[in-house]
């Protein structure tokens, strides 16, 4: 399984390199272009969930003690699981859905469409199931009834948000600012100044000096993360492509790798200060972490719900808002509950997505003539846009 994963990662990196070398100046503009800040906010909040908020404090001790992670400090390891290189998966799929899919329409083929929508629905429900599973560890003393009730409300909020793309934009931008506020509050709790935080952030440099170590799985746990990124990559690319504002491909790549990684680096550094100094996180701060994490889950779910309802043409405009919310809430919450009785693992979904990558690659090769004028279009459109 890890061999398949390693080959798939190397393929995506090579494919991204080919895109940048051949189509680096091609402008990427979606159907609903937004500002760069809004685009990154949607990407950031849709592509991440509560794990970004809650996992690091439990993972730092593991990375500090286990031998396979000994080549870098725990902060650099944590960043490697969440930052920079892994966002390249999202760049590759975003480029595909902005520029290539409109030409070849491969995701309209019955088999591809079926696999794609099953993956979206399955991953969406599985994300809700993981939230249900981990919630008792996030909120001390929460009862089972309150756990199920909160998950039901989160799914309801996500379904309602997905009913209008305007809600998705507003929620993404608002939750990004809330995350920035949370970083500031947690930083203040450490008592570290700018220099102290800067010295901690500098520790992430060990990630970049050992970046080759993160290309293939370091451990089974790292493989779990990589399968998760793969599982989300096609879905996030489909969703955020429509919001791409017209950056050149190389600019889009840099933006998608660097901009989300900056708040992740600062957030992990603030949490690492808490870990190193054994600082307690009080009730209000813990509540703030849970609230921001819950909003991230809503963001993740609403983007996936919006995606599969659009693909299946069961949008709110067609069903009506009440039927739309009732149908999708019943479907999602029902699947979340059913997943408690299944052995489904994210690795399996990741393997299906890798298989979908392989299928699309094969179909693209067979239809390569349809892409023959992409270079010419790239050159002419980029020149026209620069003059404008």
Among residues 150, 117, 122, 141, which one has the least CA distance to residue 50? 150
CB 44, CB 175: distance < 8 Å: no
CA atoms of 349 and 347, how far apart (whole Å) = 5
pTM here is 0.91
- At residue 138, the pLDDT reads 85
CB 324, CB 314: distance < 8 Å: yes
- At residue 376, the pLDDT reads 54
Walking along the chain (388 residues) 10 residues at a time, the average pLDDT comes out as 91 94 94 94 89 92 96 97 95 96 93 94 89 87 93 95 88 93 95 94 97 94 94 92 95 96 97 93 89 92 92 91 95 91 84 94 86 58 44
- At residue 290, the pLDDT reads 92
- At residue 385, the pLDDT reads 44
- At residue 383, the pLDDT reads 45
Q: 28 forms bridges with which residues in the sheet? A: 247
Q: Tokens 């520790």 map to which residue?
A: 203
Among residues 116, 150, 120, 119, which one has the least CA distance to residue 133? 150
CA atoms of 234 and 106, how far apart (whole Å) = 13
CA atoms of 260 and 254, how far apart (whole Å) = 10
Among residues 46, 42, 21, 31, which one has the least CA distance to residue 101? 31
59 is written with which tokens? Answer: 């993972």
The structural domains of the chain, with segments of one domain joined by +, span 21-387
CA atoms of 56 and 83, how far apart (whole Å) = 13
- At residue 176, the pLDDT reads 93
Q: Under DSSP, is residue 49 helix (H, G, I), strand (E, B) or coil?
A: coil
Q: Tell whether the torsion through CA atoms of 304, 308, 313 and 314 is positive or negative.
A: negative
CA atoms of 110 and 96, how far apart (whole Å) = 19
CA atoms of 322 and 207, how far apart (whole Å) = 48
- At residue 342, the pLDDT reads 80
Q: Looking at residue 215, what DSSP letter applies?
A: S
CA atoms of 247 and 128, how far apart (whole Å) = 33
């Amino acid at each position: 399984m890890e061999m398949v994963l390693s080959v798939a990662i190397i393929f995506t990196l090579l494919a991204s390199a080919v895109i940048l070398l051949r189509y680096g100046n091609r402008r990427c503009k979606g159907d609903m272009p937004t500002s760069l800040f809004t685009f990154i906010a949607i990407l950031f909040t849709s592509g991440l969930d509560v794990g970004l908020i809650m996992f690091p404090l439990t993972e730092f001790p593991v990375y500090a003690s286990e031998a396979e992670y000994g080549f870098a400090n725990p902060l650099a390891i944590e960043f490697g699981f969440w930052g920079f290189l892994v966002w390249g998966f999202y760049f590759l799929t975003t480029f595909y859905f902005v520029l290539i899919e409109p030409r070849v329409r491969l995701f309209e083929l019955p088999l591809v469409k079926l696999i794609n929508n099953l993956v979206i629905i399955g991953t969406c429900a599985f994300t809700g199931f993981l939230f249900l599973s981990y919630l008792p560890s996030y909120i001390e003393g929460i009862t089972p009834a309150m756990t199920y009730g909160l998950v039901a409300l989160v799914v309801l909020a996500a379904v309602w948000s997905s009913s209008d793309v305007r809600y998705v934009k507003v929620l993404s931008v608002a939750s990004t600012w809330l995350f920035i506020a949370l970083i500031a509050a947690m930083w203040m709790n450490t008592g570290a100044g700018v220099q102290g935080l800067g010295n901690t952030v500098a520790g992430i440099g060990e990630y970049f000096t050992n970046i080759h170590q993160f290309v293939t799985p370091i451990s089974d746990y790292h493989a779990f993360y990589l399968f998760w990124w793969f599982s989300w990559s096609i879905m996030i690319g489909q969703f955020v492509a429509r919001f791409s504002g017209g950056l050149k491909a190389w600019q889009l790549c840099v933006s998608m790798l660097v901009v989300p990684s900056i708040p992740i680096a600062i957030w992990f550094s603030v949490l690492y200060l808490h870990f190193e100094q054994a600082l307690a996180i009080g009730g209000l701060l813990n509540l703030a972490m849970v609230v921001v994490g819950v909003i991230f889950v809503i963001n993740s779910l609403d983007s996936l719900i919006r995606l599969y309802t659009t693909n299946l043409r069961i949008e709110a405009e067609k069903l009506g808002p009440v039927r739309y919310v009732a149908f999708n809430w019943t479907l999602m919450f029902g699947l979340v509950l059913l997943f408690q009785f299944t052995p489904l693992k994210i690795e399996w979904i990741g393997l299906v997505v890798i298989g979908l990558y392989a299928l699309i690659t094969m179909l693209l090769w067979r239809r390569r003539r349809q892409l023959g004028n992409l270079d010419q279009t790239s050159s002419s459109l980029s020149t026209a846009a620069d003059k404008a």
